[in-house]
Amino acid sequence: MKIFKSKSNLKKYISGKKALEKSIGFVPTMGALHKGHLSLVKRAKKKNDLAVVSIFVNPTQFDNKEDLEKYPQTIDNDIKLLESVNCDAVFIPSVEEIYDSSIVAEKFDFDGLEYQMEGKFRDGHFDGVGTIVKALFEIVMPTTAYFGKKDFQQLQIIKKLVEKTHLPIKIKGRPIFREDDGLAMSSRNARLTKEHREAAPFIYKTLKKAKKKFGIENANSIIEWVENEFKKHPLLELEYFTIANEVTLKSDEKIDPKSKYRAFIAVYAGEIRLIDNVGFKRKNK
């Protein structure tokens, strides 16, 4: 596996591959890789001639300084894991390599997707995500880029970014990977205390129960039910639970039988903020 730290060397490598008409599957990550990331890399490799991964903890998408400082970094292990799935190249730039001297995000208009859910609680987060993903896309110029559906709002925003910037890149969302007890895999899970780790599967259990109620009870009563479940929980604090249209990410007044809906949740387990979501129409993905 080739390891690149500079944009220019990676660009040269990519141009060489493109000249040979090789397709490139790209998986942007912030490292601390888990099985969910590796499944994206395997998919990228299966569907393309080459799999390229980036590992970069992007400062402009963190609204919380402590979250950025404590974000898990396991670079040696990440490299071993990427080699184990036959990744062809990994890009591990420094902050200066990406941002030069000014670490600021560009402002984006994602047609309102950025103001829903995470956008209400994480100021500037999606400008940060848009800035780094656009920069990485311009360097790697992949044929297809792969993202996990755990960050479903991010996935929809990246689709919008590609639509608005006319970058010729296909965006694919892939299913959420879960631990055996249902907790959605996330690099942040490594920071949970033992007791919060034991409590965290309650999030997915509650989503599954809420899903069963969908179509029988109205959205407001499901929301109220979920809020009450978390009020009773001694260790987990609900930030939001909402049922939204998968395309607009808005909570429709009236459920449209032709649209797909998804429940979205953000919960604090001690200091660690966890998010999850479940498709409400089809079998859970």
Work out how close the CB of 6 gets to ligand PAF at its nearest, in angstroms, rounded to a whole number.
19
Binding site for ligand PAF (CB under 6 A): 28-30, 58, 61, 129, 132-133, 151, 154
In this complex, which beta carbon is closest to ligand PAF, that of residue 21 or of residue 100?
Answer: 100
> Contact at 8 Å (CB) between 11 and 37?
no
In this complex, which beta carbon is closest to ligand PAF, that of residue 13 or of residue 56?
Answer: 56
> Contact at 8 Å (CB) between 169 and 143?
yes
Angle, helix 152-165 to helix 125-140, in steps of 10 degrees: 60
In this complex, which beta carbon is closest to ligand PAF, that of residue 61 or of residue 206?
Answer: 61
**Stated length of the chain:** 285
Q: Which two tokens stand for residue 279?
A: 């498709």
Nearest to 280 by CA among 262, 257, 254: 262
**Nearest-10 Cα torsion for 211, 160, 91, 95:** -100
- CA dist., res. 46 & res. 142, Å (int): 14
In this complex, which beta carbon is closest to ligand PAF, that of residue 29 or of residue 242?
Answer: 29
Beta bridge partner(s), residue 243: 263
Question: What are the residue numbers of the active site?
Answer: 37
Sign of CA dihedral 100, 104, 108, 112: positive
Work out how close the CB of 249 gets to ligand PAF at its nearest, in angstroms, rounded to a whole number.
16
Work out how close the CB of 236 gets to ligand PAF at its nearest, in angstroms, rounded to a whole number.
23
CA angle at residue 161 from 81 to 126, to 5 degrees? 70
In this complex, which beta carbon is closest to ligand PAF, that of residue 30 or of residue 171?
Answer: 30
Work out how close the CB of 238 gets to ligand PAF at its nearest, in angstroms, rounded to a whole number.
22
> Contact at 8 Å (CB) between 84 and 131?
no
In this complex, which beta carbon is closest to ligand PAF, that of residue 7 or of residue 233?
Answer: 7
Nearest to 203 by CA among 245, 149, 241: 241
Work out how close the CB of 219 gets to ligand PAF at its nearest, in angstroms, rounded to a whole number.
27
- CA dist., res. 1 & res. 88, Å (int): 5
Work out how close the CB of 195 gets to ligand PAF at its nearest, in angstroms, rounded to a whole number.
26
Nearest to 221 by CA among 204, 241, 201, 202: 241
